[in-house]
Amino acid sequence: MNGNVAVKEVSDGYEGDDLYHLKPLKKTQVNPVFSELCSELGVNYKQQGAWVDEFGKSLREWAEKNFNNPVKTLSLFSGAGGLDIGFHDAGFDIVERVEIDSRFCDTLVENSKPDEYLSKASVVCGDIRDYIPSAVGEIDFIIGGPPCQSFSAAGRRAAGVQGTQDERGSLFEEYVRILQTLQPCGFLFENVYGITGAEKGEAWKRIVNAFSGAGYTIEHRLLNSADFGMPQHRERMFIVGVREDVEYRFPVPTHGPDSPENLPYNSAGSALYGVMNTVKPKQGLGGRFSHLLDEIPPGLNYSFFTDKMGHPNPLFAWRSKFSDFLYKADPDVPARTLKAQGGQYTGPFHWGNRPFTADELKRLQTFPDDYKIIGTRAVAYHQIGNSVPPQVARMLAVSIMEQVFGNKTPIPMPTLPPSKELGFRKRKRLLTKRYSAKAAKAIESIKDDLVKMSILDERGYSAYLGKDLSWIECNDGASFDVTADCRSTGWSITVSDYKSKKNAKLESSVDVFPIEGNEWPIESKKITLYSYSSDVRSYSALWKAFEKELRDRNIKADLVQLCGYYQYKPSFVCRLHVSDENDNIFMNRLKPLSKILNGDGVAEIMHESIMEKKLSVMGDNLIDLAEWLKLLGYEVRNHNTNPQIEEEYYLIPYAFPTLSPLSVQRKKSLKNTK
């Protein structure tokens, strides 16, 4: 079984303009490793559907017949069991799993019952910090990946990555504690790529030094799951630690341009072939952006509706949303990374313009069809998206079984030299060109239907402004009356108390000026918002009414899209004017509010002393001002709302109110509630 295998010609280099269409530069002779491995196992990896399930089953059967001494393995931070499945299939004996989330434990327990996938593994549901490792007995290997939120892209976008300063980011210390107690032959540690950049690299140094200090030689690699047969691009950092007398190298990719055979990626459409959905697929998304999903070409996201992609009605600003916002998977290529959690518009979505079912997500994450995920739809999504893909775990486990424990595998697995750089991140940077071409083709086919909505130049309505910052047009129980006069010569939006007297006086106004040189989608460059109400909430109502006109006229989805993401230069500035006779609306906070509208103290993380100076406030008045701004609808962040922000620092991303009922920041407290 480990004899000579046939060789064939494959490319030794590639050229092309994107990730999926590459041309060979030259030919070289290589061993067709993965195809031979599948042949030995009796698996047809070219078939559509869940061939990875058959691969895992056949690999497990082969291991049971050929490995006499089980490798006793402890699983930490087990989640739904993705790593456990892969290592179990490769012949590792998972003896115990430790997980804190009781919902995830329900899944682990269910699949540990007799005749289920991991029937021999016990489950410890509790905090890793309370776990006593000596009770598990002798352990040969440890696997696990601590929570990654403190190193994630969401953390970076929130205000930089806090890393090991976050309580979750320090859980690697518990991993090290258990290693030092049990002294296994080795371990595998998984986390997000952002772990290397946390705290300017200092967190990564501490993690590597801690593992080395526990007596292990470290080999680490950033891997893309699609390179190992997954129908999904998912970049994760893996660390394998071994004793000093053992050398370990990561396996070469089995699929894609970096694989010896240049096998095509496993596409999302192929992976879902024949899936039996146990729950009927949910049709549509609901909400005000749901209709946009129908127009987005497979493989693209909200950026389809941006100037950058050439859309004639660019509702969104470039890079103003996460890349998974309204992302629709392409059936012909691997999907982008599944997310453990997200909002209503967090993709990937099915190319049939609907959310994926849990059964479909299991296929995309390479969970076996017969592996049971327990919980509601949201809980199931969380568990699947949070897991290490079993197929990636299988290939890593096979390489570890061979190199660390000296067990012969069906086919010797070639390894990556430390100096060998994989090309998936470079190829990723080439995708914009492909996306732009796809967007242009889609726009060309529908451009005759892309017109601005026909809205009266002048209209009036009444609306209710809720405590949750909802803005609902209604006739009964309204808060304000609104008149919007939106002509090419100038926009004038007026807010007054509901059914107020006609002789109400002007209390305040805001002028909005486009910054010269920026794209400005509104015909008029003169926009004024007028308040004829002494109610402080009328200030919020002005911006809600302005945003409604942008949305209803199909100009922009919201104010942030008009302004642009806060880390870029804004497209407009504002000026506040208040009546000289006004003595009750903005008296104490007029000056700081005016400064904020002018852009002072905005879009930059700054120490409270600097912000106090910029906004002309003193001492404890800053936190009071911040709380008041939140009531008006401003997003304000500090250490208590976003742990990535250092203590005594603040961030006001935008010069205008942006919070809505769905905003996560709306419910967070700026004050320490402990």
Q: Chain-centre distance of CA 185, in angstroms?
A: 34
CA distance 173 to 295: 47
CA distance 457 to 485: 6
Is residue 258 within 8 A of residue 227, CB to CB? The reply is: yes
Q: What is the dihedral of CA 300, 306, 311, 315, to 10 degrees?
A: 110
For residue 348, is the peptide bond before it cis, meaning its omega torsion is within 30 degrees of 0?
Answer: yes
Catalytic residue among 38, 105, 148, 185: 148
Is residue 344 within 8 A of residue 662, CB to CB? The reply is: yes
Which residues, listed in sequence order, are joined to residue 155 by a DSSP beta bridge?
none
Q: What is the dihedral of CA 512, 518, 523, 527, to 10 degrees?
A: 0
Q: Which candidate, 445, 535, 446, 521, places its Cα nearest to that of 488?
A: 521
* Vertex 323 angle, CA 640 and 433, to 5°: 150
- Helix axis angle, 608-615 to 590-597, nearest 10°: 100
Is residue 297 within 8 A of residue 353, CB to CB? The reply is: no
Q: Chain-centre distance of CA 226, in angstroms?
A: 17
Q: Provide the 10 A C-beta neighbour count for residue 101.
A: 19
Quick check: is 148 catalytic?
Answer: yes
Q: In one letter, which amino acid is 233?
A: H
CA distance 55 to 389: 14
Is the torsion defined by CA of 562, 566, 571, 573 positive or negative? positive
Q: Chain-centre distance of CA 234, in angstroms?
A: 11
CA distance 79 to 637: 30
Question: Would you please indicate which residues are annotated as catalytic (active-site) residues?
Answer: 148
